[in-house]
Chains A and B, each alone.
Chain A
Amino acid sequence: QQQVKQSPQSLIVQKGGIPIINCAYENTAFDYFPWYQQFPGKGPALLIAIRPDVSEKKEGRFTISFNKSAKQFSLHIMDSQPGDSATYFCAARWGNEKLTFGTGTRLTIIP
């Protein structure tokens, strides 16, 4: 029940395309859903986050869509660039408890 399932495992998109990464969860107590971006040899960096009372959140080229009834959320990257090539992790948390992470998506943007 504490799991967050993430797909796809890897994704290749042409520059300018819109990669979409999906996550699903079971625990309805989760109340905070962040996405992290990780480059090789670096720590995860917070990209964008959403709470379940909001269905969509945009920050720059990054958008989270949230479907509370389906217990799913997704990350969309508009006008993707080669510099967006990284591993993306979704996560979920309730209260001040630990973050539970998805398994990660390795995104490659080809020129």
Chain B
Amino acid sequence: NAGVMQNPRHLVRRRGQEARLRCSPMKGHSHVYWYRQLPEEGLKFMVYLQKENIIDESGMPKERFSAEFPKEGPSILRIQQVVRGDSAAYFCASSPTGVSGNTIYFGEGSWLTVV
């Protein structure tokens, strides 16, 4: 009965390094969403993926950010050449296929700190 699993929970990177955040959706869920939350702010949509497909990446910065959800394995959010402004909590969420209006469940988040 595992929920949405994210790792690492906390990550510190120096400016210019790469950050990789992983998300394993709930069992039976094939829709994955990534959201970013800056301190004291709400959740901002980044990208929506299904297995092997990016459905909506309208919230992703055009440069340095990429996401994938391969046929096997977790979804990965990758941030290249991190800058201080990338410091935030990154939340992954998942939902099952099919029926409209399915509940979306969130993981505990990955807190990225860029120093």
Contact = CB atoms under 8 A, between A and B. Distances in A.
B69 interface: no
A74 interface: no
Contact of A96 (B4, B44, B100, B109): B100
Interface string A75-111: 0000000000000010001111111111110000000
Interface residues of B, number: 27
A96 B102 CA distance: 7
Nearest to A4: B42
A45 interface: yes
A99 B44 CA distance: 9
A43 B109 contact: yes
Contacts of B41: 103-104
Nearest to B9: A41
B43 A44 contact: yes
B115 interface: no
A51 B102 CA distance: 11
A31 B100 contact: yes
Interface residues of A, number: 25
A44 B48 contact: no
B1 interface: no
Given A51-B101, A97-B48, A101-B43, A45 B106 contact: yes
B17 to A, nearest CB: 24
Interface string A40-70: 0111111001010000000000000000000
Given A32-B101, A51-B101, A93-B101, A98 B45 contact: yes
B104 interface: yes
Interface of A: 31-32, 34, 36, 41-46, 49, 51, 89, 93-104
Interface of B: 4, 31, 33, 35, 41-45, 48, 56, 91, 93, 95, 97-98, 100-109, 111
